[in-house]
Structure 1
């Protein structure tokens, strides 16, 4: 440590105000749907891409957050917004893309379809021109997903072959005469998979299917040809299948969109959106230079599509949005020998792909998504740290310190949120920067998602270290509510004998170290309206070892009497406590064989009102049940009722911190009073207002900063408020006294005493009034000649912008009598220069 140095400067001036620290300067970039040019100002806003360019020009010199303020309206970008390291915050600040106060900006990947004409009056089918080549698997009509043209068929109508199907029902022979046969798809909704396979051609009664989609859909588990349960079939995507009102068909080659309207309904009077983009936002850096410190608030993301299932790859679904995407060596008789697994199928596991998301985050840290709406997206809504093949950037995994709070997910074709990857680098990364960690998902509503890819849970978190999934409401789903983990225990230390028996370890190592999955917290969620289509899986589900995991105080109900708490193969070290499971057929389940290591889990003090308990206790599994209580009907004890009432999305609240009574001087500009407010639950952008401010003062509605010069002496009763975009508000009231100003303020003397050490210092300032009149209210100002940064203050409110500093009185030391003194001080940091200031002003006049 350097020897302490005390420096006194005899100058003239006065000082002080409320104890507040260092004010950061916020820079605002303005964008609008029709923005153009490069100004990016409030009067001349720019486009989203130009806003990104403006941000890049400002980040290196950031002295506060950069806010990209989006005006209301619909933005229709030609390409996704891609943000990387160059678009990130700097110097401890962040870049926040957020809705303008009171506005709802919509980032849409769609084209609004107009110019409808009646094409077939008998069937009320309308047509509209779209660009030739435009393709989409989704259409949104008045804010809702419209069904594609489709017909249901029975399994007895066809026979499955290694190349496709043979028509067995003569009523389907007309299929051979249909145009655009390679756009027809077969969907099969099974026990836990939802499979799509496209047609290649139809000749007579022979339907040849595209490869490798057909073969990949017909081996492994719960296949298209041999589902474990369910197995309803649909033929989709032909003009001839427009059999019901509300259905649509797109002909890209002709550039024509067809819609079968309800009786008396004209599409020209409705909002019809055809997606064009396959993602909207891509936040991704590299492992060496991640994207970081970026936030999105109050934005609606809508209208995307995902085209892969309609290609030769199809959607050879395996579970929860994973699929086979390449050609594999198969047994020649796979239709009979590999319908419940086979050794060659085990070679596929490390190359399963994940469905991509509309909003993608990878190789990124310090990312916040607050108060956004993810609606009408033709894929997974939000993907965080998925495998590289699911990210347009080509860089997967590597997501850390990502917060997702107060968002809504609805009417999406895939899952609401998918966190983590499934390939080897996800569970045993070759680079430590690939680890997905510290992901927080709280207070989100996930409702009515997985509309097209029905195998997906509302929220899925795979290989993640410390995922926190709390206070979410997850509802109206065909499959599971919240799923955690991956790998069936085969990648855990020592592997799984079950998978050794299947031949898995002929294609991958038996790992001796743990995966990245640990310390998952799934707490206080409300999970209901699940399992509407698929009955395998559970409302709350874990897969593989998850050391330190806690599933606590979740409320589960309305799951079609399926499994409530489901620990699948290889689940270990999971503690499930204080959960309320209502009306489940099986309230607690461990999928334990003698050798699959579904072991060492604890079900403690849960409440349930019936259903089977299917937990493997004792050796070799050693799962335990203790203190669990079965109740009659819904006569829940008070502790269970508390869990129920506190589960799900927390009620939004806005709290405004009372700044305390204020004092200032007429005719003297105030240093600025920053109103502090926080929003819980909603995560929405806040708008500020104030009533009763002294004349000459005003509040910035976006930032909450009060500035100006008071013009009239007196005491005012001030109320400041903050309101989020859902209308929830909070307020605080205080008194603001404005004193009559003195005639000058130049009759003063200042002593500056500094105590310095390496990298830090404290300073005391003594102000003496050398004049003959009392100074009522004072502001002292100076500039540091060095690189000092003030971190805290006492006996004054001190604000700093760059090198410039102002100190204002607090209520108890606002007056300085003739010959009297006032003293205040502060603590700070420095790096290269701690030279003391030499010039001070009092109330705008230099001290002599």
Structure 2
């Protein structure tokens, strides 16, 4: 390929035949593999075949190891490590104990219980304790398990992990995080011991003896099953240069300061690492020597700052000013770029004002050379793992953004498909599944790239990540994450291991479009956009929030703005954690000068187990135009602004049910929003519902309609409980309480079936086809029966649209788990019509 791209006159197409390609290393592409002359290099499936790029090793040779417990065992090569396993395409659960076991007391850095059985665990240092609290998912490996004083077991947490998750939680403040809490102080479950293999579908990998243990599910035959044990942390790596850039402190040893410079630490102004070097003497200089192609020097803008002479490799190149009307921290007043690769020296000389402040440096080690103009189409990317939590734990900040155990800086969960410094990268009609981290990540200033018409599901981390959390300072457009589109995707069942993860996460981005995605079945929020909390809010607003006194606050700028979250359908989220929402925003939009308003339009938000606010514009959110959204089956408030640093937001022409909102923001104006009762949505709301989510051509072939399908209209007192764990389709149902409540769906086909539960608290339903009653049906049963076909018909005209209506007639509840639609009639051997 590298020999072809330089002379491209049209796209180059690489066709992959169907089958599973088990990779020994990630498929890696860089600038030299990129399209040229305005053309793309396209990797696509051959015709309708299905190629899979897999990061897993296939495991066979299982034999029955413990007959009494039905545990099977297979040998794996020495050195094999993995935290995930997939059997016949289904995720296996790493062996764990019961949820919320109780009986544990935290003593120093140990969880103590009267249960002595833990002392029998083998490989105790591989065991992990896991704790879910509010918006955080925390986990730590153990140092060992010992006898507790007075008997019982002491689960002794690895000291470094316990410090990072409890006694010394990183709390860098804006723009890196908010409160830093909660911390690891309880046990939601214990994980990863052979002795915890108790439930079908659980596995345990003994990395000491090199055996994989598995307790099969009913019907699984390990002699013929496809058992995939992931060993790679990613399957695709597209990387341009210079890769990830992050600030270093003013104390970096490459910096030298003339004698009269002073240092100031513990400053409350938002400095990097809370300290600066400063001088008050004109002529004083700072010199920074580095190897690379550029350098940003972060300083402070303020009324008492002045002119700075800039020298590059001994030659004065310009004079800049750090003077400004208000104090702003971490500003790249000096930015030197475009140097030839190699060693360079940048010198700053104080030329005016009362102070020259130096706060940090960002070295650009290489020329900006994106990987670019590459398309993937029709390919599946699957089977990855991520082993870092096994050694350092999971040090959560929020939404899949973590703390590095050594540097204590922000890091993110890696992705199976990773793009660093990309431009014009396209993923369309792909599937990303069964991952040990995030699905796909467009990182480090990736621009004008697209993920569309794809399915991303069954991920341990998030679905899609976009942008960074530590490049807020950037003013160079070529280094901004900008112009990217994530549209028309199905993103579901993310956060299977790390339950703080979200469907789509976006950090600092400009001009991003998140549109017509369908996001569902998440343990935390559906979409999260923005970072920095109150970093971009004024000191006056921060003071009103009681964070800092006026004139003493952590304030700076970021480049985020002109983003769009439009016409997405987000439902059945917040299934595990709390303090999140369907679509969540945080930190300032508007760009450096608050002129780039972002838009939040046309989204439909429905259902949610632990939702605070369906539209959750959290601390520091600003410069949003939030309008023409539909919120139904709300848990919590339909919207809420809890603090004054949420500012300059217009919320208008939204439709919501049920009622509930609050507004403690600043210049947050709610106008012309409509509460809708009993499911009687006005035509304008109906138009929003019809336009949200996937385009109709991408969902037209669904024969099994979930109870959350947008084609279903609910009237009356219906509720939408999710994450029930009872065996319903997608673990959700809609339930009606009042007699006369109804659910209606219009379809084209020869037949339709009604799917719901039967239970002792249910009574009769009546079914209407095209407004003609088909009779009353009992859904009463002495015990709960899920996914039951309550009614079916199969002799309708397949060319004519039909309407089915289900009406509750008696009992405490009626439930609807969805519909089955049969496009054409099916016949038995005697020519009689059969239901699909």
Contact 1:586 1:611 in 2 (8 A): no
Question: Which residue does the alignment assign to 1:606?
Answer: 654
Which residue of 620, 625, 634 corresponds with 2:670?
625
Pick closer, same or farther for the CA change 1:599–1:651 going to 2, 3 Å: same
Pick closer, same or farther for the CA change 1:653–1:235 going to 2, 3 Å: closer
Contact 2:429 2:453 in 1 (8 A): yes
Deviation at 1:494, TM superposition (A): 5.5
| Whole-angstrom distance in 2 between the partners of 1:504 and 1:210 | 39
| Whole-angstrom distance in 1 between the partners of 2:88 and 2:568 | 31
Deviations 1:271-306 (A, max 9, x none): 111001001111111142111111111110000001
Deviations 1:477-529 (A, max 9, x none): 11111111011122456696369966899999632xx3121011011111111
| Whole-angstrom distance in 1 between the partners of 2:227 and 2:386 | 18
Contact 2:650 2:669 in 1 (8 A): yes
1:400 aligns with 2:359: no
| Whole-angstrom distance in 1 between the partners of 2:422 and 2:566 | 25
Question: Which residue does the alignment assign to 1:175?
Answer: 118
Question: Which residue does the alignment assign to 1:251?
Answer: 206
Which residue of 7, 13, 16 corresponds with 1:70?
16
Deviation at 1:593, TM superposition (A): 2.7
Question: Which residue does the alignment assign to 2:261?
Answer: none
1:550 aligns with 2:627: no
Deviation at 1:407, TM superposition (A): 0.7
Which residue of 191, 204, 210 corresponds with 1:236?
191
Deviation at 1:378, TM superposition (A): 1.1
| Whole-angstrom distance in 2 between the partners of 1:591 and 1:212 | 37
Deviation at 1:152, TM superposition (A): 2.5
Contact 1:212 1:327 in 2 (8 A): no
**What's the secondary structure of 1:652's corresponding residue?**
helix
Deviation at 1:636, TM superposition (A): 0.4
Structure having the higher Rg = 1
TM-score after normalising by structure 2: 0.63
Question: Which residue does the alignment assign to 2:376?
Answer: 296
Question: Which residue does the alignment assign to 2:785?
Answer: none
TM-score after normalising by structure 1: 0.62
Pick closer, same or farther for the CA change 1:493–1:428 going to 2, 3 Å: farther
Deviation at 1:153, TM superposition (A): 6.5
Deviation at 1:221, TM superposition (A): 4.3
Pick closer, same or farther for the CA change 1:556–1:605 going to 2, 3 Å: same
| Whole-angstrom distance in 2 between the partners of 1:127 and 1:306 | 23
Question: Which residue does the alignment assign to 1:534?
Answer: 577
Unmatched 5+ residue regions in structure 1?
1-54, 329-347, 386-396, 655-848
1:449 aligns with 2:494: yes
| Whole-angstrom distance in 2 between the partners of 1:493 and 1:434 | 26
Deviation at 1:433, TM superposition (A): 3.2
Question: Which residue does the alignment assign to 1:748?
Answer: none
Pick closer, same or farther for the CA change 1:533–1:495 going to 2, 3 Å: farther
Deviations 1:530-580 (A, max 9, x none): 111123111111111222111111111111373211110011111111100
| Whole-angstrom distance in 1 between the partners of 2:685 and 2:223 | 52
Q: How does 1:461-476 map to 2 (within 5 A)?
A: 461-476=506-521
| Whole-angstrom distance in 1 between the partners of 2:164 and 2:235 | 29
| Whole-angstrom distance in 1 between the partners of 2:81 and 2:441 | 23
Deviation at 1:252, TM superposition (A): 1.6
1:580 aligns with 2:623: no
Which residue of 348, 358, 374 corresponds with 2:432?
374
Deviation at 1:91, TM superposition (A): 1.2
| Whole-angstrom distance in 1 between the partners of 2:131 and 2:397 | 13
**What's the secondary structure of 1:69's corresponding residue?**
strand
**What's the secondary structure of 2:162's corresponding residue?**
helix
**What's the secondary structure of 1:151's corresponding residue?**
coil
Q: How does 1:213-292 map to 2 (within 5 A)?
A: 213-218=161-166, 219=169, 221-226=180-185, 233-262=188-217, 265-287=220-242, 288-292=368-372
Pick closer, same or farther for the CA change 1:199–1:61 going to 2, 3 Å: same
Deviations 1:794-819 (A, max 9, x none): xxxxxxxxxxxxxxxxxxxxxxxxxx
Unmatched 5+ residue regions in structure 2?
149-153, 170-178, 243-367, 591-596, 700-836
Which residue of 376, 379, 401 corresponds with 1:322?
401
Question: Which residue does the alignment assign to 1:616?
Answer: 664
| Whole-angstrom distance in 1 between the partners of 2:142 and 2:439 | 28
| Whole-angstrom distance in 2 between the partners of 1:133 and 1:443 | 41
1:438 aligns with 2:386: no
**What's the secondary structure of 2:535's corresponding residue?**
coil
Pick closer, same or farther for the CA change 1:623–1:454 going to 2, 3 Å: same
Q: CA RMSD in A?
A: 2.4
1:361 aligns with 2:419: yes
Question: Which residue does the alignment assign to 1:409?
Answer: 456
Deviations 1:183-235 (A, max 9, x none): 00011122111111000112212332224211111246443445xxxx66111
**What's the secondary structure of 2:43's corresponding residue?**
strand
Pick closer, same or farther for the CA change 1:373–1:653 going to 2, 3 Å: closer
Which residue of 634, 637, 642 corresponds with 2:682?
637
Which residue of 189, 197, 204 corresponds with 2:140?
197
Question: Which residue does the alignment assign to 1:99?
Answer: 45
Contact 2:577 2:610 in 1 (8 A): no
Contact 2:12 2:41 in 1 (8 A): yes
Contact 1:111 1:273 in 2 (8 A): yes
| Whole-angstrom distance in 1 between the partners of 2:125 and 2:585 | 39
1:208 aligns with 2:156: yes
Deviation at 1:356, TM superposition (A): 0.9
| Whole-angstrom distance in 1 between the partners of 2:550 and 2:529 | 24
| Whole-angstrom distance in 2 between the partners of 1:531 and 1:603 | 23
Question: Which residue does the alignment assign to 2:271?
Answer: none
Q: How does 1:90-169 map to 2 (within 5 A)?
A: 90-152=36-98, 156-165=102-111, 167-169=112-114
Question: Which residue does the alignment assign to 1:788?
Answer: none
Deviation at 1:616, TM superposition (A): 2.7
Contact 1:495 1:510 in 2 (8 A): no
| Whole-angstrom distance in 1 between the partners of 2:81 and 2:412 | 21
Deviation at 1:384, TM superposition (A): 0.9
Question: Which residue does the alignment assign to 1:383?
Answer: 441
Deviations 1:5-47 (A, max 9, x none): xxxxxxxxxxxxxxxxxxxxxxxxxxxxxxxxxxxxxxxxxxx
